[in-house]
Amino acid sequence: MTEATDPPMTDPEATDPRTTDSGEARTGRTGGAHATAKPDGPLVLDGVTVRYGTEVAVDGAALTAHAGDVVAVTGHSGAGKSSLLWAIAGAVPASGQVRLGSTRVSGRAQAAELGIEVIPQGSALAVLLNAFENVALPLLARGIPAAEAERRARHALASVGLEESASHLAEELSGGQQQRVAVARGLALRPWVLLADEPTSELDHDNRERVLALLRAEADRGALVVMATHDPEAAAAADAELHLDDGQLTRVR
């Protein structure tokens, strides 16, 4: 269940992709240990406020969201949806608290160690790398062994229908293909909290349905998915819908 107040892929080779066959947690390294243990409680936002100078992008947001849910965040352009996601990810300065289980999120690197990842709006691909490299390199940066990183990257690209485009430079791909590579990159990281910022905005109907099904599969395997979207059908398919209006977060359902 997801609560908000007015200011409080499945990989065929692994049932739980964060565990080994013996059930032990997989680990990687991001300089230090990359924590892949399942969070010990929900994602909680308590009075989260994001300001850019005198502009308030998010104003006292409060939220409790649980693993296994897909949560849609709707609102007009400029309402603060991206700022909210990046605050959860520890990537923008914010007052208030973001907690994942018993741990307070204190910065982007620490959030990544907790298993919080972002599919950014606009894909944010490295244009001089090919699709495969854009998916695999973040895995290698987290200390995932090369063979495992390659397997995950190729599986993720296949899941978004881009296995034949793995060797294409990002700048050679269409906007929709770039968006699907960004989705594949997020899936390959296997986060516990996946923050998807307008993940279907550049996609045709079939690929939109494909991506929404993949996000649902992430929730089904135990992740929390928080998706910012302008798409009413995508929002309707979520387990809960929140609305941002000039920084104010309220629950729709």
The pLDDT tens digits of the residues spanning 90-126 come to 999 999 999 999 999 999 999 999 999 999 998 899 9
pLDDT of residue 232: 92
Backbone angles phi, psi at 71, to 5 degrees: -115, 125
- Spell out where the chain has E strands: 3-5, 28-30, 32-34, 43-52, 55-65, 70-74, 95-100, 103-104, 116-119, 193-197, 224-228, 240-245, 248-251
Cβ proximity of 157 and 164 under 8 Å: no
Percent of the chain predicted with pLDDT > 70: 86
Q: What's the pLDDT at 11? A: 43
d(CA 215, CA 168): 24
pLDDT band at 2 (very low <50, low <70, confident <90, very high): low
* Tens digit of each residue's pLDDT (9 = 90 or more) over 12-51: 334 343 443 333 344 333 333 334 689 999 999 999 999 9
**pTM attached to this predicted model:** 0.85
d(CA 79, CA 156): 31
